[in-house]
Amino acid sequence: MIARSVFDEEHNIFRESVRRFYEEHITPHRSEWEKDGHISREAWLEAGRQGLLCMPIPEEYGGLGADKLYSIIMMEEQARAGASGPGFSLHSEIVAPYILNYGTEEQKKKFLPKLVSGEMIGAIAMTEPGAGSDLQGVKTRAVKDGDDYIINGSKTFITNGFMSDLVIVVAKTDPEAGAKGTTLFLVEADQNGFSKGRNLEKLGLKSQDTAELFFDDVRVPASNILGGEGQGFICLMQELAWERLQIAIAAVATMEIVLEETIEYTKERSAFGRNVIQFQNTKFKLAEAKTEVQIARVFVDKCIEELLKGELDVPTAAMAKYWCSDLENKVIDECLQLHGGYGYMWEYRVARAYADARVQRIYGGTNEIMKEIISRSL
């Protein structure tokens, strides 16, 4: 197999400690958190104590100023642990960077240290009941009132929403101005008029909190605008390549571990007097999956290299997101089939991976939207 070359020795040592974190603090609580529909606050705080949240945030705001490879290890190990509950990467790699990149000094000092420690849980609220792929259709309004803005509207499918302490809200400040009339607001959970709806019941990601959020005359000062009035879309566009690559990274790491376990399972399980791996169908299915996962791994590692150089473009990241998440669904489906009835049982990783994988083709921009983006670059 082609050896990976993106990580050095320090990264490998760090990977061991992250693996231990998931084994000790996340995996043992899986069933309990699946019933709760969210992980515990203590898990967020422990991740913070171990320095595993918002690692790229500079030291002056409490972070480690680490390179993105550390964040990638965190994502890969989360996938390896089959821990689909923690919304750590959205918090650390989407919410915190928005504040770092577009926030005022005051906003950075106020929020970043608490996001790093896990005292505050971050979310980003773009999607609404009537607007997902087409974000221009956002109806949430923020109307200027003296030095404040008053926000009205609702959001849905918000990761970390139920436990969120800080939400980046996408709202229209000038509905006539199209993309230029969209602004990002920082809204804290205790602000009057802000409420959380149900923690939504989902097909997979059972212990990940995904909620509806409501804004009913929420008054926020103009100093809570993130990135300037009318700059919302411009901010949202800046980190798209990284945000989408994260989905591909998780997809490949998940496929690798599911495939590894499936190979082991088929070596042990017997039927008709032989091990299941000895049937030609099994060998060919596994050979196909191994080949495709290897291709995905090489492509994603190349994308990671481009990302580190600051050269990963949006269409290439869209290719990685769409192709790897489609492949993830296909490979996991084949692996589940090779497990027979046990593959359908929740206690088996492959069953949970099957349920969790489906949304990878939907969130972060649907795979159809990814193809739109790629086709525009042709």
Ligand X SMILES: Cc1cc2nc3c(=O)[nH]c(=O)nc-3n(C[C@H](O)[C@H](O)[C@H](O)COP(=O)(O)OP(=O)(O)OC[C@H]3O[C@@H](n4cnc5c(N)ncnc54)[C@H](O)[C@@H]3O)c2cc1C
Site residues (CB under 6 A) for ligand X? 90, 124-127, 132-133, 157-159, 202, 205, 210, 359, 362-363, 365-366, 368-369, 372
CB-based contacts of 364, cutoff 8 Å, min separation 6: 243, 244, 246, 247, 321
The partner residues of 155 in beta bridges, in order of sequence, read: 213
| Phi and psi, residue 121, nearest 5° | -105, 130
Q: Report the alpha-carbon distance of residue 135 to residue 114 in Å, rounded.
A: 29
Q: Which is nearer to ligand X, 246 or 282 (by Cβ)? A: 246
CB of 214 to ligand X, least distance (A): 14
Q: Which is nearer to ligand X, 147 or 201 (by Cβ)? A: 201
CB of 280 to ligand X, least distance (A): 37
Q: For the chain, percent helix, then strand, then coil, each to nearest 5?
A: 55, 15, 25
Q: Which is nearer to ligand X, 103 or 122 (by Cβ)? A: 122
Q: Report the alpha-carbon distance of residue 38 to residue 46 in Å, rounded.
A: 15
CB of 137 to ligand X, least distance (A): 9
Q: Report the alpha-carbon distance of residue 200 to residue 206 in Å, rounded.
A: 10
Q: Report the alpha-carbon distance of residue 71 to residue 32 in Å, rounded.
A: 26
CB of 91 to ligand X, least distance (A): 10
Which is the catalytic residue, given 243, 256, 292, 334? 243
Whole-angstrom Cα Rg for the chain: 21
Enter the tokens of residue 336. Answer: 């589940």
Q: What is the DSSP code string of 22-73? A: IIIIIGGGHHHHHHHTS--HHHHHHHHHTT-SSTTS-GGGTS----HHHHHH
Let me know: does 255 contact 327? Beta carbons within 8 Å. Answer: yes
Q: Which is nearer to ligand X, 23 or 368 (by Cβ)? A: 368
CB of 208 to ligand X, least distance (A): 7
Return the closest-CA partner of residue 164 out of 207, 125, 136, 203. Answer: 125
Nearest residue to the partner ligand X, using Cβ: 132
Does the active-site annotation cover 243? yes
Enter the tokens of residue 269. Answer: 């399980």
Q: Which is nearer to ligand X, 73 or 373 (by Cβ)? A: 373
Q: Which is nearer to ligand X, 182 or 282 (by Cβ)? A: 182
CB of 287 to ligand X, least distance (A): 32
Q: CA angle at residue 120 from 119 to 125, to 5 degrees? A: 165
Q: Which is nearer to ligand X, 154 or 294 (by Cβ)? A: 154
Q: Report the alpha-carbon distance of residue 92 to residue 188 in Å, rounded.
A: 17
Q: What is the DSSP code string of 162-231? A: TT-SEEEEEEES-GGGGGGGEEEEEEETTSTTEEEEEEPP-SS-TTS-EEEEEEEEEEEEGGGEES-TT-
CB of 244 to ligand X, least distance (A): 11
CB of 331 to ligand X, least distance (A): 20
* Helix 68-80 vs helix 9-21: crossing angle, to nearest 10: 40
Q: Which is nearer to ligand X, 188 or 260 (by Cβ)? A: 188
Active site residues: 243
